[in-house]
Structure 1
Amino acid sequence: MEPEGGDVAGDSTGLLLLDLYDDEDLEVFSKDASLTEINSFSPLMPTSPSSMINQYKFEDEPESKDLFITVDDPESHVTAIETFITYRVVTKTTRGEFDSSEYEVRRRYQDFLWLKGRLEEAHPTLIIPPLPEKFIMKGVVERFNDKFIETRKKALHKFLNRIADHPTLTFNEDFKIFLTAQAWELSSHKKQGPGLFSRMGQTVKAVASSMRGGAVKNRPEVFSEMIEYVDIFSQKISLLDKISHRVHKEEKDYLYEMKEFGPIHTLWSASEEDLVDTLKGLAGCIDQCCKATEKRMTALSESLFPAIQEYLLYSEILMGVLKRRDQIQAELDAKIDAVYNKKIENELLSEEIGKLEDKVECANNALQADWDRWKQSMRVDLKMAFSDVAENNIHYYEQCLATWESFLTSQATSDISLEEQSEDQT
C-alpha cells in the first residue's frame, strides 16, 4: 500500500458572536490485510438552502476570476494489491502561464495530500486549506458507498478552490503541475521532492524546536493574541461539533420512534370502525412529519457538519502555522543571543542575522495578511451554515404545522357534518 497520507470579534470573547451570524490514501485498502481506516465567499444571503451548498456554480464568481476547477466523476480502480478511487479534476483558465485553456486529469487522495505538503513547505506561514481527514475503518469495507464518495468529492473540490482563490497559493508551481500534469508526469515530479529521510529529519527538527524552551522571547503581541484566539476558537468549534452530532443522533432516534408510531394507528383503525378516518389521518400526518424530519437531517449533515468539520481542521492548521512562525523567530533569537554572549564573532553572524530578520518580517507580514483573509472567510462560511440550519428548521416546522392544521380542519369539518346528520335524524 502506498504511504500518503475575520476575527469574529476583535478579541477572544468575540467568538460568542458566532451565534449571530491521511498518511494513506483515504480510499485505499489492502485486499488481504486489516483495513486502514468552494470558493468565493459572498455575503449575500442565499434564497434557498440548496443554494448555500452548491459547489459547482460559477455564475456568482467575481468577474476577475480566471481559474475554475471542478472535482467530479469518482472512479474505482482495482489492482493486484489495492483498490482505490480517483477523481476527475477539470480546470478551465484564461491565465497566460498555462499552455492550454482547459485540462482534465485524474487524481487520488494521496496526490491531494502531496500538494498540501508541498504548499506547506513552500509557504510555511500561510494558512493552507485543510484536506478531509483520513477515515479509519476496522473490519468493514463500506468505503465505497455513494454518500461517502459524494462527501469526499465535495471536500476535495472545496480544497482546490480554496487554493485557486488564494492570492498567493494560486500561483504556486506545484499547484499548476497538480492541475495539468498527466499521472505519469505527476509521479515523476513527486520523486524530485524531498526524500523520506529528509522529510523525517525536518519533522524531528520541528518537534525538537517546538519542545525547546517554551515561549518565544520576542514574539510580537499580535501573534500571542492569535494563539489565544485559536485556542478558544478550537474549544468552541470542537464543542459545537460534539453537540451538533449529539443533536443529530437524538433526531435519528426520534425519527426511528416516529416511524414505528405511525403504523400503529393504521393497525388500530382496523378494529375501530368509528375512528377509521381519524386514526388513518393521524398515521398520514406522522408519515409526512417523518419525511420532513429526514429532509431536515439530510440538510444538517450536508451543510452544518462539513462547515464545522472544516473549521475544526482549520484550528489545527492555524496552530501549526503559528508554531512555524515561532520557529523562525526562535532561530533569529538564538543567533542574536550568540552575538551578545560572544560565543561567535559578530562579523560571522551579522549577515545571517540580517537575512533572518528579513525572513521573520516576511513571515509576520504573510501570516497577518492571511489571518485577516481567513477570519473574513470563516465569518461568511459559518454564517451561511447557521443561516442554512435556521432556514431548514423554519421550513420543517412550517411543513409539520401545516400538516397538523390540515388534519384538525378535516376533523372539525367531519364533526360539523356528523352534527348536521344528527340534527336531521332528530
Structure 2
Amino acid sequence: MADNTAPPPFDDEEEQKDDEDLFADANERRKSSEVALDSDSESKPADTSSSSNTIIQPIIEAPNLVSGSVDKPQIKVTQSSTSSSKTESRTTNSHDEIEVEDDEYSITIKVTDPHKVGDGMSAYIAYKVLTRTTIPAFRKAELMVIRRFSDFLGIHSKLADKHVHLGIVVPAAPEKSVLGMTKVKMSKEESGSAEFIEKRRASLERFLNRTAQHPVLRNDPDFREFLEREDLPRSTSTSALSGAGVIRLFHKVGDAMEKITFKMDESDEWFEEKQLQVNALDIQLRKLHTSVETLAMHRKDLSVSTASFAKSAAMLGNIEEHTGLSRALSQLAETEEKIEQLHKDQADQDFFTLAELIKDYISLIGSVKDVFHERVKTYKNWKEAELTLTKKRENKAKLETNHKTDKIQQAQEEITEWSAKVEKGHDDFEKISDNVRKEVARFEKYRVIDFKNNVVQYLEALMDNQQKLIKYWEAFLPEAKAIV
C-alpha cells in the first residue's frame, strides 16, 4: 500500500474509498450476469489484470478423500506472475525510492491428492506437488513430486536459515497440529478427518506459492530441489523433540530475551514508522480473524438449526390432514433444506476466503517482524565490534605508554582485525536495511492484491447466496397463498 508520499499508518478516508471501490466492483459484476438456481459454481474473482500487472489465480477444488462426495468451496490461491510487466510499487523514504518490479518468468504450484500412507501412529499424509514454470533454472517446465508434511517444514527451515538473517522475508510454514494428526493416524477412514486434511492441503499450497512469488527464494537451490527431486531425503530435524528442535527452542528463548534487554536507538524514521504500522496491523488482523471465525461458527450452527427445522416441518406435513396445508409444509421443508445448504456454503466461504487469508497474513507479519529483529541483531553486532575496537586501541595506547614493545605488534594486529569487523558490520547493517525496505514494500504490494481479490470474491459469493435465497422464497410463496 505504498504511495509517493508517506501517509499515516491508517487513513480513514483512504480505507473508505477502497471499500467503496470494492463494493462498486462487485455490484457491477453482479449486474452483468445472473446466477442460476441450480448452479453450484462460484463467482469468478475480480479481474485485477492490467497492461502493467497480471495476477494468476489458479482454482483448486478440494479433492474427495472418500468414495462419498465431500463438497468443499473452491480455494483460490493468489500468485503473482508476469509475462513482460513493468509495474512497480514505490515507497518514499528519507534515502531513496523503493521499487518492486516483477520479472518476466512465472511459476504456479498446486498441492493435490492428499492420501494416507501407513497405519497407526507411524502413518502420515502424502501430497502430490505439481509445478508449472517458465523459469530457466528448473529442469523441466512441468514437474510432479510426492511430499509429506515434514518435507514442507524442512524446506521452510532451510530457507529461513539461509535468508532471514539477510533481511529476506520467508513465508511461515503451516503450523503443526498434534491433535489433528492424531485423529488422522488413529482413524481407519479418511472421511472422519477430511476437513482437517483439506485445510492443511490448502495451507501448504499457499505456502509454496507465496514462497515462489519471491525472486530470491524461488531460485534457491534447496527450493528447486524440493520441487524437482523425486527421492528427497526425509527431513528429520523438524520434530520438536529432535536435537535441531531443541536448539531452535533455545534460540527462540534467546531472541525473546534479547528483545527485552536490548533496545536499538532507531535513527531512521521510516523504520520506526513501519514497525509501528506492522504492530498495529498485527493487532487488528488478530481481532478480525477471531470475529470471522466466530461468524463462520455461527453460520454452521444456523445451518444445523435450519436442517432441524426442515425435518420438523416435513414430519408435520406428513401427519397434517388438510391437503393444501400438508403440501405447503412439505414445500417449506424442501425450501429450508436448500437454505441449509446455502448457510453451509457461506460458512465455508467465511472460513476459506476470509479467515484463512487473514491467518496467512498474521503469519506473514510474524515473518516481517523477524527480519526487523535481524536488523536489530546486526546493528548490535556492529556496535559491539566498535566497542571492542575502542578497547583494543586503548590497550595499545597503554602498551605504548608502558613501553611494552613486545606486545604492540600483536595489539596492532588485533586492531586491524577488529577494524575489518567494524567495517563488515557497517556494510552488513546497510545491506540488511536495504533488503528490509524492499521486503516491506513487497509485502505491502501483495497484501493489497490479495485482500482486494479475496474480498471481491467473498462479496460476489455472498450476493450469489442471497439471490438464491430470495428465489427459493419466491418459489415457495405461491404454495403458501394457495392454502384454502
TM-score range, shorter chain: 0.7 to 0.9
- Deviation of 1:189 (Å): 12
SS at match of 2:10: helix
- Deviation of 1:12 (Å): 2.6
Which residue matches 2:195? Answer: 147
- Deviation of 1:187 (Å): 6.0
Corresponding residue to 1:91 among 131, 149, 154: 131
Which residue matches 1:123? Answer: 163
1:211-263 CA distance string (max 9 Å, x none): 433x2024522222222112111111111111111112222222222212123
Check the 8 A contact 1:49/1:391 in 2, yes or no.
no
Which residue matches 2:82? Answer: 62
Amino acid at match of 1:17: E
Check the 8 A contact 1:49/1:392 in 2, yes or no.
no
CA–CA distance in structure 1, aligned partners of residues 118 and 232 of structure 2? 18
Residues 188 and 104 (structure 1), Cα distance of their counterparts in 2 relative to 1, 3 Å cut: farther
- Aligned: 1:394 with 2:463: yes
5+ residue gaps, structure 1, are 1-5, 22-40, 419-426
Which residue matches 1:277? Answer: 327
CA–CA distance in structure 2, aligned partners of residues 188 and 258 of structure 1? 48
1:120-170 CA distance string (max 9 Å, x none): 122121111122111131895246522222222222122122222211111
Residues 140 and 185 (structure 1), Cα distance of their counterparts in 2 relative to 1, 3 Å cut: closer
Which residue matches 1:381? Answer: 450
- Aligned: 1:181 with 2:229: yes
Amino acid at match of 1:133: E
Amino acid at match of 2:465: Y
- Aligned: 1:74 with 2:114: yes
Amino acid at match of 2:171: P
Residues 328 and 402 (structure 1), Cα distance of their counterparts in 2 relative to 1, 3 Å cut: same
Which residue matches 2:289? Answer: 241
CA–CA distance in structure 1, aligned partners of residues 285 and 196 of structure 2? 23
Corresponding residue to 2:178 among 136, 147, 150: 136
Q: How does 1:198-213 map to 2 (within 5 A)?
A: 206-213=255-262
Deviates more, 1:384-393 or 1:124-133: 384-393
Which residue matches 2:269? Answer: 221
SS at match of 1:123: helix
- Aligned: 1:157 with 2:205: yes
- Deviation of 1:14 (Å): 4.0
CA–CA distance in structure 2, aligned partners of residues 208 and 239 of structure 1? 27
- Aligned: 1:13 with 2:4: no
Corresponding residue to 1:306 among 352, 356, 372: 356
- Deviation of 1:322 (Å): 1.1
Check the 8 A contact 1:218/1:329 in 2, yes or no.
no
5+ residue gaps, structure 2, are 23-45, 61-72, 84-103, 397-414
CA–CA distance in structure 1, aligned partners of residues 253 and 349 of structure 2? 43
Deviates more, 1:138-147 or 1:373-382: 138-147
CA–CA distance in structure 2, aligned partners of residues 395 and 161 of structure 1? 28
Amino acid at match of 1:226: K
Residues 72 and 49 (structure 1), Cα distance of their counterparts in 2 relative to 1, 3 Å cut: closer
CA–CA distance in structure 1, aligned partners of residues 150 and 181 of structure 2? 22
SS at match of 1:10: coil
Check the 8 A contact 1:73/1:87 in 2, yes or no.
yes
Q: Percent identity?
A: 20
CA–CA distance in structure 2, aligned partners of residues 360 and 79 of structure 1? 51
CA–CA distance in structure 2, aligned partners of residues 344 and 65 of structure 1? 56
How large is the RMSD of aligned CA atoms in angstroms? Answer: 3.7
1:178-208 CA distance string (max 9 Å, x none): 2222335566999xxxx84876775565445
Check the 8 A contact 2:303/2:341 in 1, yes or no.
no
Residues 49 and 388 (structure 1), Cα distance of their counterparts in 2 relative to 1, 3 Å cut: farther
Q: How does 1:315-394 map to 2 (within 5 A)?
A: 315-339=365-389, 347-394=416-463
SS at match of 1:70: strand
1:270-315 CA distance string (max 9 Å, x none): 2340522332332232222112212211222221121111112112
Deviates more, 1:360-369 or 1:156-165: 156-165
1:299-354 CA distance string (max 9 Å, x none): 22221121111112112222222111111111112223444566666544322111
CA–CA distance in structure 1, aligned partners of residues 250 and 304 of structure 2? 53
- Deviation of 1:372 (Å): 0.8
CA–CA distance in structure 1, aligned partners of residues 235 and 433 of structure 2? 34
Normalising to structure 2: TM-score of the pair?
A: 0.69
CA–CA distance in structure 2, aligned partners of residues 100 and 109 of structure 1? 24
- Aligned: 1:293 with 2:343: yes
CA–CA distance in structure 1, aligned partners of residues 381 and 117 of structure 2? 46
